[in-house]
Amino acid sequence: MIRHKEVLRSRFLCTPLVKMWATLSVLLVILPKIINSDPAVDFYKKVINENVAKVENYKLPKNNAEFINGSQATEIKDFGGYDFIIIGAGSAGSVLATRLSENENFKILLLEAGGDENDFSTIPSMWVNLQMSNINWGYLTTPQKNCCLGMKNRQCLEPRGKAIGGSSTINAIAYVRGNPEDYNKWDRLGNPGWSYKEVLPYFLKSENSQVDGDPGFHGKGGLWNIQYSLPPSELFSNFLQANKELGLEALDYNGYRQIGASKSQTNIKRGKRQSTGTAFLSYARERRNLNVITKTLVTEIIIDKKYKTAEGVVFIKDDQKFRANANLEVIVSAGAINSPQLLMLSGIGPKEHLEGIGIDLIADLPVGKNLLEHPMFPGLAFRTNYTVFAESLNEQIKSFLKGKGPLSTAVEAVAFMAGPDNIPSIEYIFMPQTGTPSAFDMFNFNQELENTYLAKINSTTDFNIFVVLLHQKSKGEIRLKSKDPIDFPEIDLNLFEKQEDVDTLIEGINFVIKLTKAQAFQDINATLIDIPICQEYEKYSKSFWNCAIRHMSMTMYHPCGTTAMGPNSTTAVVDNQLRVYGIEKLRVVDAGVMPSTVSGHLNAPTIMIAEKISDVIKATYN
Ligand SMILES: Cc1cc2nc3c(=O)[nH]c(=O)nc-3n(C[C@H](O)[C@H](O)[C@H](O)COP(=O)(O)OP(=O)(O)OC[C@H]3O[C@@H](n4cnc5c(N)ncnc54)[C@H](O)[C@@H]3O)c2cc1C
Ligand SMILES: *[C@@H]1O[C@H](CO)[C@@H](O)[C@H](O)[C@H]1NC(C)=O
Ligand SMILES: *[C@@H]1O[C@H](CO)[C@@H](O)[C@H](O)[C@H]1NC(C)=O
Ligand SMILES: *[C@@H]1O[C@H](CO)[C@@H](O)[C@H](O)[C@H]1NC(C)=O
Ligand SMILES: *[C@@H]1O[C@H](CO)[C@@H](O)[C@H](O)[C@H]1NC(C)=O
Ligand SMILES: *[C@@H]1O[C@H](CO)[C@@H](O)[C@H](O)[C@H]1NC(C)=O
């Protein structure tokens, strides 16, 4: 406006043409405000409405059918040679490709099954909707015996990102590293170099932190922006205050201490998602020594059987088959589900299983074993007498364009309950009411749970607290369904095989219920919403919770451990530099290498792993 005033005051004021121009430009600025149409708002409104509508009818795929024609091609075309071939542009792969391509002498090929990120995936609050789209691989677990009993066909969901950025493109953007002792344990398990003191610099390296956290624990000037989503929800202070009443102070959970409660530190920049594609790879993608190919399924790592050396990969692109050769290394960063699948398809895995499937064994390693997750109980919803005021979508988009508001938020607050040795045993996650109907139907709950439970939840009055088991004792497994790379792998979660895991989760549930009895929550009359299952047990008895947990629990989508790092190849797949035992020129770098899981969320640790190994690789070949 000021500019136009200046124009009007100018000495050209009298010429009719200028007068007309001035009036016109004033109108151009004012008019859209009068008819209330801001092109940017309209754009995002269209993006959100179109994509949310698609979710309704989306059917999860059953296999990799989009690559089926290519898999039947008989000719394998030569794609040339590279120093490094990285499989998967996810959290780890995007960071590796960015760091390795800093060395101009390295020629790098990065192969990604999915396509690019899109405008919808940059909106943090849409993370749940992304699971019902083609940027999720769309995995379901095998029908389960001890868990997921209340899910359709007893199958839990196990979403995985299928796009540049991988799972960091569909995740809930919480930045939670875990406890120093988690990493000290990796070191103690026989993995020198992975103690907290040694990995902390790599956490700091990636970070551009806007969080006013504990000094020495946060990086500035890195590629990856970390900040709080703002403003806090209306009930955030109730959550903090209730914790305080129980002796859990507000703190920086990525700092000195972890047992306490806090607003969650998130991967956003100006309100938009900071996937590893956006934060890292976008800087490297134009480099001439890096070739990024999307919509490409790697189906095999080519291994010389005599010399046990990785030579290259076979992949499908545009209905054709190609072979690329690796001069220095093949690096598998396909994630904790797909990396074991690809290794097994290539002859690296448990002898009996591969022979049973009809795959020639090259290395007998415990690939796919030791699957760890973070089991999560989503059944604690509370009715309040506080009704949240939900802004219109237009208003929400306006805030989003200013970098704040509900569209820029996914997880409001996290807190940790102490377990043995002061390592947290339970995390509880505060999900306040949003005022817009929640996407909770994506739990895969069966019809009964949907009708009797989900239907009761009111998004303007009810909040959830998710209870997470951080260190499960039960282990699952990834196996192959067949030797056909078009088939999905089999994911057997096997949660709660060990009763101890259920018992710890019950402690967490009881703690959270106690939390909601604190004054700060009683002020809004927080009351547990009835869970109408397991009626044969006395309500809220131990056996009731045991039953409810086995029916309703899902996971945080944190699979790891399936290509574990360790000193002994009877129980581990890679050594402490993430080199596959018994095979030259082959590394696995992703969440699968974690030998034990962390008291946090897996994205930041996975990125730390990629940062650290990038330095190891650079030092090796310099
Ligand atoms: C819905 C959801 C919510 C989550 N929320 C959080 C959170 O809030 N905070 C947090 O810290 N963590 C969260 N996580 C977990 C975290 O995002 C993952 O642990 C992390 O991204 C894993 O990184 P990765 O590199 O191991 O695998 P990924 O990021 O999954 O990368 C693997 C990549 O390889 C590609 N690929 C796989 N197979 C092939 C093949 N054969 N050929 C070519 N390409 C292939 C995939 O398409 C993918 O891009 C969440 C995960 C999900 C799914
Ligand atoms: C495979 O090829 C057939 C015949 O050309 C075509 O009709 C079909 O759509 C293709 N399938 C895929 C998944 O591309
Ligand atoms: C949800 O709660 C609000 C506030 O009490 C009420 O106005 C609304 O009708 C409720 N919605 C449903 C679907 O029950
Ligand atoms: C508190 O919640 C209970 C259970 O929903 C309800 O019966 C009661 O009327 C509420 N009290 C107030 C003061 O809102
Ligand atoms: C909500 O319920 C509490 C009692 O639990 C009561 O003290 C408070 O006044 C109620 N608030 C409203 C807005 O009704
Ligand atoms: C690895 O573990 C196996 C089984 O526990 C044991 O027999 C073997 O000696 C170990 N090897 C090394 C090198 O420690």
Instruction: Give the model confidence (pLDDT) of 287-301 as tens digits.
Output: 999 999 999 999 999
String of DSSP letters for 45-84: HHHHHHHHHHHHH----SB-GGGHHHHT---EEEEEEEEE
Q: Which of 178-182, 371-375, 421-425, 555-559 is the least confident region?
A: 421-425
pLDDT, residue 32, reads: 53
Q: What angle do CA 480, 481, 486 make, to 5 degrees?
A: 95
Close Cβ partners of 9 (under 8 Å, ≥ 6 residues apart): none
Choose which residue among 456, 522, 525, 530 to substitute to test ligand 4 binding: the one with the highest number of ligand atoms within 8 A of its C-beta: 525
Strands (E), 281-418: 290-293, 296-304, 309-317, 320-332, 348-349, 363-364, 375-377, 381-383, 413-418
What does the pLDDT read at residue 389? 87
Ligand 6 centroid to Cα of residue 366, in Å, is 13
**Ligand nearest to C-alpha 117:** 1
- Residues 24 and 7: their CA atoms lie apart, in Å, by 12
Q: Which helix (H) or strand (E) holds 27?
A: helix 16-34
Rounded CA gap, 87 and 541, in Å?
Answer: 48
AA letter at 339: S
Asked if residue 597 has pLDDT above 80, the reply is: yes
The pLDDT of 342-354, averaged and rounded, is: 98
Confidence at 37, pLDDT banded by 50, 70, 90: confident
CB neighbours (10 Å) of residue 458?
16
In this structure, which residue's CA is closest to atom 3 in ligand 2?
69
**Cα separations (Å) of 431 from 259, 428, 530?**
19, 10, 18
Residue-level pLDDT at 16: 54
Residue for token digits 């000719």?
A: 75
pLDDT attached to residue 386: 96
Residue nearest to atom 2 of ligand 5 (CA): 525
Q: Would you say domain 65-621 falls under CATH 3.50.50.60?
A: yes
Q: Ligand 6, residues 189, 365, 369, 568: which to mutate, most atoms within 8 A of Cβ?
A: 568
Instruction: Name residue, tokens 């040339």.
Output: 80
Is the CB–ligand 1 distance for residue 167 below 6 Å? Answer: yes
Give the pLDDT of residue 3: 33
At 525-562, the pLDDT tens digits run: 999 999 999 999 999 999 999 999 999 999 999 999 99
Q: Counting ligands in written order, which one lies closest to the CA of residue 366? A: 6
Which residue's alpha carbon is nearest to atom 12 within ligand 3? 458
Structure-block tokens of residue 27: 């109108």
From 69, 72, 295, the mutation candidate for ligand 2 (largest count of ligand atoms within 8 A of CB) is: 69
- Whether the per-residue pLDDT at 511 is higher than 80: the answer is yes
Taking the CA of 66 as reference, the closest ligand is 2
Phi, psi of 611 (to 5 degrees): -60, -45
pLDDT per residue over 63-72, tens digit each?
999 999 999 9
- The position carrying tokens 């990285």 is 86
Measured in whole angstroms, how far is the alpha carbon of residue 461 from the centre of its chain?
A: 28
> Which atom of ligand 5 lies at the shortest distance from residue 524's CA?
1
Separation CA 592–CA 372 (nearest Å): 9
Ligand 6 centroid–CA 570 distance in Å is 7
| Mean pLDDT, residues 398-416 taken together | 95
CA distance 382 to 347: 50
Would you state the pLDDT for residue 7?
31
pLDDT given at position 26: 61
Task: Give 529's DSSP letter.
Answer: P
For the CA of 87, the nearest ligand:
1
Work out the pLDDT band at 35, boundaries 50, 70, 90.
low
Q: How far is the CA of 579 from the centre of ligand 1 (A)?
A: 21
Top mutation candidate among 570, 571, 573 for ligand 6, by most atoms within 8 Å of CB: 570
Q: Find the 458 Cα to ligand 3 centroid distance in Å.
A: 6
- Centroid of ligand 1 to alpha carbon of 494 (angstroms): 20
Q: Write phi, then psi, for 576 (nearest 5 degrees).
A: -70, -10
Mutate to test the pocket of ligand 1, among 128, 171, 206, 408 (most ligand atoms within 8 A of CB): 171
| Ligand 5 pocket residue status of 387, Cβ below 6 Å | no
> What residue owns the CA closest to ligand 4's atom 2?
525
pLDDT tens, 315-327?
999 999 999 999 9
Which residue type is seen at 452? T
Average confidence (pLDDT) over 379-391: 94
Q: What is residue 419's three-state secondary structure?
A: coil
Which residue's alpha carbon is nearest to atom 5 within ligand 2?
Answer: 69
CA of 178 to the centre of ligand 3 (A): 38
pLDDT range class, residue 184, cuts 50, 70, 90: very high
Phi, psi angles (nearest 5°) of residue 290? -120, 125
Question: Measured between alpha carbons, how far is 577 from 617 in angstroms, rounded to an integer?
Answer: 9
Yes or no: say if 563 and 579 are a contact pair by the CB < 8 Å rule.
no
DSSP secondary-structure letter at 219?
-
- Cα dist from 104 to 99, 109, 287, 327, 470, whole Å: 11, 13, 9, 15, 41
The three-point CA angle 295-483-167 to 5° equals 40
Q: What is the pLDDT of residue 433?
A: 85
For atom 7 of ligand 6, the residue with the nearest CA is 570
pLDDT score at 435: 75
DSSP string, 148-214: -TTBGGG--EE--B-BTTGGGGTS--B-----HHHHHHHHHTT-TT-SHHHHHHHHHHHEEE-----
Maximum CA pair distance of the chain? Answer: 91
CA distance 247 to 261: 10
Question: What is the number of the ligand 4 atom nearest to the C-alpha of 383?
Answer: 5
> What whole-number distance in Å separates Cα of residue 174 and Cα of residue 127?
12
Q: In this structure, which amino acid lies at residue 521?
A: F
**What is the model's pTM?**
0.94
Domain ranges of the chain: 65-621
Task: Identify the residues whose C-beta falls under 6 Å from ligand 4.
Answer: 383, 385, 525, 527
Given pLDDT bands bounded at 50, 70 and 90, which one contains residue 10? very low
Q: Is 616 helix (H, G, I), strand (E, B) or coil?
A: helix
CA of 454 to the centre of ligand 4 (A): 20
Our answer to whether residue 558 is catalytic in this structure is: yes
Give the per-residue pLDDT at 622.
84
Rounded mean pLDDT, 222-247 = 96
Q: What is the mean pLDDT of residues 266-291?
A: 97
The Å distance, Cα 296 to ligand 1 centre, comes to 16
Q: Give the dihedral sign, CA 571/344/618/622.
A: positive
HSE-up (13 A, CA, CB side) for residue 145 = 6
Average pLDDT over residues 427-437: 86
Q: How far, in Å, from the CA of 67 to the mean position of ligand 2?
A: 9
Separation CA 564–CA 367 (nearest Å): 8
Position in ligand 4 atom list of the atom nearest CA 385: 14
pLDDT band at 22 (very low <50, low <70, confident <90, very high): low
* Three-state SS at 466: strand
At 175, list the tokens: 């930045």
Cβ < 6 A, ligand 3 pocket: 387, 458, 460-461
CB of 334 closer than 8 Å to CB of 88: yes
Task: Please report the pLDDT score of residue 544 as a whole number.
Answer: 98
Active-site hit among 218, 374, 551, 558: 558
Assign 4 a pLDDT band (cuts: 50, 70, 90): very low
- What mean pLDDT value characterizes the chain? 94
Q: Which ligand is nearest to the CA of 456?
A: 3
Token match 């890096």: residue? 290
Residues with CB under 6 A from ligand 6: 568, 570
Ligand nearest to the CA of 454: 3
Are the C-beta atoms of residues 302 and 310 closer than 8 Å to each other? yes
Round to whole Å and give the CA distance between 432 and 410.
Answer: 10
Q: Which atom of ligand 1 is nearest to the CA of 162?
A: 47
Protein residue whose Cα sits closest to atom 14 of ligand 3: 458
CB 208 within 8 A of CB 223: yes
Give the atom of ligand 1 at the shortest distance from the alpha carbon of 88: 34
- Sign of the torsion angle spanned by Cα atoms 184, 190, 194, 197: positive
CA angle 367, 336, 445 (to 5 degrees): 115
Q: How confident is the model at residue 252 (pLDDT cuts 50, 70, 90)?
A: very high
**Contact predicate 259/247, CB 8 Å:** no
